[in-house]
Amino acid sequence: MDRRSVLKIAGAVSAATAAMFAVPRMAFAAYSDAIFKQKAGADALQNAYGANATTPSDQVKLKAPDIAENGAVVPVSVETDMDAESIAILITENPSPMAITADFPAGTKAMVKTRCRMGKTTQVTAVVKSGGKLYTASKEVKVTIGGCGG
């Protein structure tokens, strides 16, 4: 989303909010279809971070359930002690694997917690961008349809 479009929309919104979105965001990965409607996770990473080569690291702490209570609301959290600018979460079997990117200015902890939607059993991968490199941790989250609907 370029500055011009943001400012056009901002006309309908309070000055404060407009100012916030008009803040130079070159350092941050804002929403774009190229990232979030991208079928290939590697391409999504490339478009988000300018790179897609990843290295597994046990410094990436990914927390997600082994078996999701409900695929519509799966708590996922990622954090790291590394000096990190951004964290992304990829859900392999989702229509567009890149679920979220979160960016941390100086002074903000490299941590994000959210709740994800998963249609079926899938690998969930946390990507940490630190020093221009991408580090990952991954686990499988099982999604089942229980018998007790109603």
Partner 1 sequence: MKKIISHVAFGLLGLSVSAAVVAGPAEDRAAFQKFYENRFPDTPVADFQNGVYSILPAAREQWEEIEEFPPYELAIERGEEIYNKTFANGKSLASCFGDDGAVRGQYPYWDRDRGMVVTMELAINECLEANGEKPLKYKKGAIADVGAFMSYNSRGQKVNVEIPSDDPRALAAYENGKEHFYTKRGQLNFACADCHMYTAGNMYRADTTSPAFGHATSWPVFRSKWQSMGTLHRRFAGCHNNIRANPYKAQGEEYRNLEYFVTYMSNDLEFNGPAARK
Partner 2 sequence: MSSIRIKAKDRKGLVDVKCLMKHNMETGLRKDKSGKKIPEHWIQDVSAESNGKVVFTAAFNTSISKDPYLAFAFAGKKGDSLTISWKDNTGATDSAETVIK
Contact residues toward partner 2 (CB under 8 A) are 1, 9, 12-14, 16-17, 20-21, 23, 25, 28-32, 35-37, 72-74, 77, 91, 94-96, 98-105, 107-109, 111-118
CB of 76 to partner 2, least distance (A): 10
* Rounded Cα–Cα distance for residues 26 and 2 (Å): 10
Selection from partner 1, partner 2, none that 147 binds (CB < 5 to 8 A by kind) is: partner 1
Please say whether the beta carbons of 79 and 111 come within 8 A: yes
- Residue 86 makes CB contacts below 8 A (sequence gap 6+) with 29, 48, 49, 101, 102, 103, 104, 128, 129
Query: Which helix (DSSP H) or strand (DSSP E) does residue 110 occupy?
Result: none
Q: Name the segment binding partner 1 (CB under 8 A); options: 6-14, 25-33, 41-49, 142-150.
A: 142-150
Closest by CA position to 90, among listed 56, 54, 127: 127
d(CA 60, CA 133) in angstroms, rounded, equals 13
Q: How many residues bind partner 1 (CB under 8 A)?
A: 20
**Rounded-to-integer distance, Cα 131 and Cα 6, Å:** 29
CB 136 within 8 A of CB 96: no
Closest separation in Å from C-beta 58 to partner 2: 22
HSE-up of residue 131 (Cα within 13 Å, Cβ side): 5
The binder of 93, among partner 2, partner 1, none, by C-beta within 5 to 8 A per type, is: none
Q: Which is nearer to partner 2, 16 or 55 (CB)?
A: 16
Site string for partner 1, 44-83 (x = CB under 8 A): ---------------------xxxxxx-xxxx-x------
Q: Of partner 2, partner 1, none, which one does residue 17 interact with (CB within 5 to 8 Å by kind)?
A: partner 2
Q: Which is nearer to partner 1, 105 or 147 (CB)?
A: 147
